[in-house]
Amino acid sequence: MKFIKTYRHLSIEDTNLLKGISILLIGFHNFYRNIPPHFGENEFYFNSNFLTDWIAYISQKPFEIFIAIFSFLGHYGVSAFVLISGYGLAMGFKNKEIPLFTYFASRVKKIYPTFFLGVVLAIVIALAIHRYPTQHELWESVFWKLSLLSPFRADMMYALYGPWWFFGLIFHLYALFPLLLFLLKRNHLVLFWGLLSILFVLPHTNLIQTSANYYASALYQLPLFGLGVFLGYQKELYLPKHVVYLALFLLLYGQGNFVIWKFTHVSAAILIVLLVLYVREKQWKFNKIMIACGILSFHFFVIHPVIRAPFLLFAEYVNSIYFTTFFGLVYIAIAYLAAILFRKIDNKFRELLTNMGKMLNKS
């Protein structure tokens, strides 16, 4: 009896399907978690009371389970993005040598102009509505975000817009990717898994003082990212046949157990990958919708927190759980329309940067 099942690697379409599912989890989570009732979630740190409060709430109000699930578990969409980022890089570079300068330049070119444009928009909005008490606070927030160093400062992690903490993290993981790929290519598996295992265990020791910004750092996320690199480096995907049951158990049981909680980010990401492996063979409209969402996921991620505040205020003003559930769907739809517009503006901005670069080269 074979205990390992083999899958063909994810295609670009499959990856967009995964991104679409993950970004919807993130979008709904970031909306519903900011509207009462506030359950809390075991994302950056663990608290078993979050699970107790969550179960008590849905047992009393089962019709509010849609909001409850996304509010409590939707943040695991980030875990899937971390895993797939490592996976995609390994798939792209496993048969190539990486000139470090070219590699880092490609990562900056892919993400930073769009992020910079989002920060400019955030500055305009902040100045227009006097979002910050002083301009010093605004420009300090801008510096820590644009420098990609905000994960190192707890008070700046959520500066400008909360979800943007991810940009500092992903660039730091990009910086560590060449080391992970070097270890795999040289077949230094003991060093590879040893490094990831140490970082996996480290937060549960007394050797370091953990806080929310540590859990948003590359050190904490590197084991999950490294797992993605390992999977992408393989000729085929090899997974235990019953890993779905183990992953589901770890995800759910880990919400109430501190030791198991460490595995929830990995298990959630694996469950999303397994979902994609299952549904990619189906001719469902769901697939096409998720693929379209995935193609826009980057621009959606940048713009959705920027437009969120008016929707939250209106939902809190109406104060109806049924309206809030429906209004969350409206918000996501409008955020996608905003992402389409933002993508067009971003394309124009990139064309402008390209033309400016050509002019500088000629001069």
**DSSP-assigned states of every residue in 224-263:** HHHHHHHHHHSSSEEEETTHHHHHHHHHHHTTS-HHHHTT
Average pLDDT over residues 176-184: 94
Average pLDDT of the chain? 89
Does this model's pTM top 0.75? yes
What pLDDT was estimated at residue 26?
95
Residue 1 has pLDDT above 50, yes or no: no
Strand partners, 4: 240
Amino acid at site 318? V
Q: What is the percent of the chain where pLDDT is above 90?
A: 55
- The domain segmentation of the chain, as residue ranges, is 4-362
Q: What is the pLDDT of residues 57-70, one digit of tens each?
A: 888 887 788 888 89
Q: What is the C-alpha separation between 44 and 211, in angstroms, rounded?
A: 8
Beta strands in 123-227 (DSSP E): none
Q: What is the C-alpha separation between 145 and 220, in angstroms, rounded?
A: 19
Residue 4 has pLDDT above 50, yes or no: yes
Tokens representing residue 349 in the block: 């901005």
N-terminal to C-terminal alpha carbon distance within the chain: 68
pLDDT band at 142; cut points 50, 70, 90:
very high
Mean pLDDT comparison of 146-150, 226-230, 233-237, highest-scoring range: 226-230
Residue 84 has pLDDT above 80, yes or no: yes
Q: How many helices (H) and strands (E) does the chain have?
A: 17, 2
What pLDDT was estimated at residue 304?
95
CB atoms within 10 A of CB 350: 14
What pLDDT was estimated at residue 2?
65
Q: What is the C-alpha separation between 50 and 53, in angstroms, rounded?
A: 5
Among the ranges given (113-122, 140-149, 240-249, 319-328), the one the predictor scored with the smallest mean pLDDT? 319-328
**What is 184-229 written as a DSSP string?**
HHTT-HHHHHHHHHHHHHGGGSSSS---HHHHTSHHHHHHHHHHHH
Sole residue written with tokens 């979902």:
275
Average pLDDT over residues 256-267: 90
Amino acid at site 87? Y
Residue 17 has pLDDT above 80, yes or no: yes
Residue 227 has pLDDT above 60, yes or no: yes
Contact of 223 with 196, CB cutoff 8 Å: yes
